[in-house]
Amino acid sequence: MATQDDDLLTGPVADPETEPTPAELAHARRFAELVDKTLSGRTPPAMSADDRALLEVATVIRATHGSLELAPGKQRSVVEDALRQAIGASPASSGSVAPIARARARRWAPWAVAGGATLVAAAAVAMLWLRAPGGGELRSARRAAVPEEWTSRPADALVGPIARDHAGDASARLDTIFADRLDGFRSLRLARGGKP
Amino acid sequence: MASEPATTVELELSEEQRLVEEAQQGNLDAMRPILERYASPLYGTVILPRLGDAVSAEDVLRDTLATAVEKIRRFTWQGKSIYPWLRQIAINKVYDVHRQSKRSRRLADAMVHEIAVESDPASHADAQLIADQERRAHRGKIDQTLQQLQDRYRLAIELRLVQELSREDCANRLGVTIGTFDVLLFRAVRAFRKHFGERAELPGKEPT
C-alpha cells in the first residue's frame, strides 16, 4: 500500500504551472521555512521523515556547490572531541589529552581491578576447599588433648533415662548438670593457679 | 653533487610522516595537526555530500577522526598522504549510517557510491587532488540531474540553494509571489530527488 511518504518522495511531480492544492501550498510553505532555518544554520532537530528527506536534497546540492564548510570553531571542537573519544574520555572533560598508552591503561583499569578481585576470591575459595579436611583433623587432635570434663559433652550420663513420673523434676536435673559443669570449671581454674 | 632543495609540499609530507610515526609510538597529540588539516575536506567533500545532514555529518566526522586515532598503529606509511586512508574510514562510517537507517534514502544512496579517485602516485599533494576531484565528481552528478529538470524548477534551485538568495529575491527574479515560489521550490526539490534517485539505481552498489 502506498503511503503519503511514497507519494511525496516518489510520486509524480506536477508541472510548474499547475495550481497547487491547499495541502501542497501549506506543505511548501513549511518546507520553505525549514530551508530558511537550514540556510541560517538553525536546522530544527525534529521534522517529518519526508521533510527531512527533501531537506537532505537541499543540503547535498549546497554541499556540492561549496556552500557548506565546517566553521573553524566547530572544526576545533570536533577534533578535540574525536581525540577524547579515541581515548575513552568524556567530551565535556577538560585538560590535555593523554598519550595513547596511558589512556589505554586508564580504559582497562576497571577491568583489571575486577579481574584481580575475582582471582583473589577464587584463590580464597580454593584454599578453604583444600584445607577443610586438615582443619577437621586438627580440631579432633586438640579436642583429644584436653580432659573430657573440660569439653562440651552430653548430659545423658548424668541424668539418665527420665521416668514418666519424674518428668516434672526438670529443675533437679538442671541442678545436677550445673554442679557437674561447675566442678569441671573449678578443676580447670585451679589447674591454672586460679587465673582465668 | 648537491641535492635539490625540498619543496614545500615535500616538507609538508615529511612533517606528516613524522607526526604519524610519533602517534604510532603513543603520542596522541601528534595526530592533532593532521586531524585539523583534513577535517574540513573530509566533511565538505566526503561525508556531507553523502549524508545530506549537517548534524549527522559532524557526528560521522568525529567518529572518523576518533577511529583514525585509535587505529593509527595499523596505518602503513607508503610515501603518500594519510588522507586517502582517512577518506576510506569516513566512507565506511557513512555506509554504517545508511545501513542503520530504515527508510529509503535514494538520494543519499546515490551519493554514497564510491567516486573513483586517482591521484598521481608521484605527486605529494594527494589530499588536495582527491578532494578537488571528488568535489568535481559530485558536482557533475548534481548538474547533470539539474539539467533534466524543467527550467523553472532548475532556476528555483539555483537561486535559492546555490546562490542562496532570499525567498523574496527569488520570487522577484521569477516574477511570482513568495507563496508561488515556495511551491516551485518544493516541487523542484521533489523532482530533483526523483530524477537523482532514478539515476542512482543504475550503477552497482559499493562493495562493503
Quick: pLDDT tens for B18-74: 999 999 998 888 999 999 999 998 998 889 888 888 888 999 999 999 999 999 999
- Verify whether the Cβ–Cβ distance A29 to B179 is below 8 Å: yes
User: CB distance B70–A86 less than 8 Å?
Assistant: yes
The per-residue DSSP string of A19-88 comes to PPPHHHHHHHHHHHHHHHHHHTT---S---HHHHHHHHHHHHHHHHTT-----HHHHHHHHHHHHHHHTT
| DSSP state letter for B206 | P
List, for residues B119-150, the tens digit of each pLDDT value: 444 444 567 777 778 888 888 888 888 999 99
Determine, for residues B28 and A99 on separate chains, whether the beta-carbon distance falls below 8 Å. yes
pLDDT in tens, A10-23: 778 888 888 999 99
Q: Do A78 and B61 touch (CB under 8 A)?
A: yes
As a whole number, mean pLDDT of residues A75-83 equals 90
* CB proximity A22 to B under 8 Å: no
Nearest CA distance, B135 vs chain A (angstrom): 6
Tell me the average pLDDT of chain A. Answer: 78
Residue type for position A144:
A
CB distance A64–B105 less than 8 Å?
A: no
**pLDDT beyond 60 at A122:** yes
What angle do the packed helices A22-39 and A49-64 form, to 10 degrees?
A: 50
Contact indicator for B208, A34 with CB cutoff of 8 Å: no
Q: What is the pLDDT of residue A132?
A: 65
Q: What is the pLDDT of residues B162-191, one digit of tens each?
A: 999 999 999 999 999 999 999 999 999 999
Averaged pLDDT, A80-99: 64
**Residue B143 neighbours by CB distance under 10 Å:** 13
Please name the residue that has the C-alpha cell 536546522. Answer: A43
Write b or e for each residue in B161-172: b if 16 or more Cβ atoms lie within 10 A of its Cβ, otherwise e. Answer: bbeeeebeebbe
Banded model confidence at residue B206, pLDDT cuts 50, 70, 90: very low
Task: Return the residue in A17, A29, A78, A81 with the most chain B beta carbons within 10 A, the one to mutate for interface testing.
Answer: A78
| ipTM of model | 0.74
Interface contacts A/B by beta carbons within 8 Å: 190
Alpha-carbon gap: B11 to the closest alpha carbon of chain A (Å): 23
Please, are residues B59 and B43 in contact by the beta-carbon 8 Å criterion?
no
As a whole number, mean pLDDT of residues A127-152 equals 68
Q: Do A8 and B197 count as a contact with CB atoms less than 8 A apart? A: no
- pLDDT value at position B204? 32
pLDDT of amino acid B61: 95
